[in-house]
């Protein structure tokens, strides 16, 4: 079920707006419900499906994340890596941005290989720390909106799934409710 929900999130992401750097004047484009025009040299937010189409034509570039930003996030997450309430607020679409950065580095071939290894290592460490904190929050049955707002959609889905499993465990196996 979790995989199905993740795939649904992935499909929904196509309708979300992403920031793009515009390389050429574009439009007006009739999207059916609205019309948009993009100006060369600007940064605009457009639906991901359109951004991907325009990026293939080298008209825009979808913003990713930098290695430096990942390093900063890793440093911040490590500061309180065992404190569940210390999730660091990040881009709501950070995992998409990371995939985008990895694609960019792969496209560089051998020139991007070393940086790609570094990025993958940082991402693994960041995701492990964040997942550990989310599991702790779920096991403590913490439902603080401030903490939840720091989670990505994927992380929130994992949090809800873990809470459901833990509640079922306490109710079905142990015979009492969690917390």
Residue 83: helix, strand or coil by DSSP? coil
* 179 located within any domain: no
Name the pTM for this structure.
0.80
| pLDDT value, residue 128 | 94
**Do 54 and 90 reside in the same domain of the chain?**
no
Q: Residue 45 maps to which CATH number? A: 3.40.5.50
Element housing 47 (H / E): strand 43-47
- Return the percentage of the chain with pLDDT > 70, whole number: 94
Both 38 and 126 in a single domain?
no
Question: Do 17 and 44 lie in a common domain?
Answer: yes
Q: How many domains does the chain have?
A: 2
Residue 178 confidence (pLDDT) above 70: no
C-alpha distances in angstroms, 141 versus 78, 137, 148, 161? 23, 6, 12, 12
Task: Encode pLDDT of 122-151 as tens digits.
Answer: 999 999 999 999 998 898 888 888 888 999
**Domain ranges, residue 95:** 71-174
The per-residue pLDDT for 175 is 63
pLDDT in tens, 15-37: 788 888 998 888 888 888 888 88
The mean per-residue pLDDT over the stretch 31-55 comes to 86
CATH number at residue 102: 1.20.58.2050
- 36-47: burial string, b at 16+ Cβ within 10 Å, e else: eebeeeeebebb
The total number of residues shown for the chain amounts to 179
């Amino acid at each position: 079920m979790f995989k199905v929900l993740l795939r649904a999130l992935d499909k929904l992401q196509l309708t979300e707006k992403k920031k793009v750097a515009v390389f050429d004047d574009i439009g007006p484009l009739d999207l059916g419900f609205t019309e948009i025009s993009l100006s060369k040299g600007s940064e605009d937010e457009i639906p991901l499906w359109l951004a991907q189409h325009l990026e293939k034509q080298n008209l825009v570039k979808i913003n990713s994340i930098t290695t430096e930003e990942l390093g900063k996030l890793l440093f911040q997450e490590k500061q309180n890596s065992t404190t569940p309430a210390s999730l660091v607020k990040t881009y709501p679409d950070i995992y998409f941005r990371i995939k985008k950065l990895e694609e960019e580095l792969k496209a560089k071939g051998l020139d991007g290989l070393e940086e790609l290894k570094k990025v993958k290592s940082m991402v693994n460490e960041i995701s492990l720390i964040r997942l550990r904190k989310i599991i702790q929050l779920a096991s403590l049955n913490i439902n603080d909106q401030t903490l939840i707002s720091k989670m990505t959609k994927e992380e929130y889905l994992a949090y809800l799934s873990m809470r459901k499993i833990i509640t079922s465990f306490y109710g079905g196996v142990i015979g009492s409710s969690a917390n």
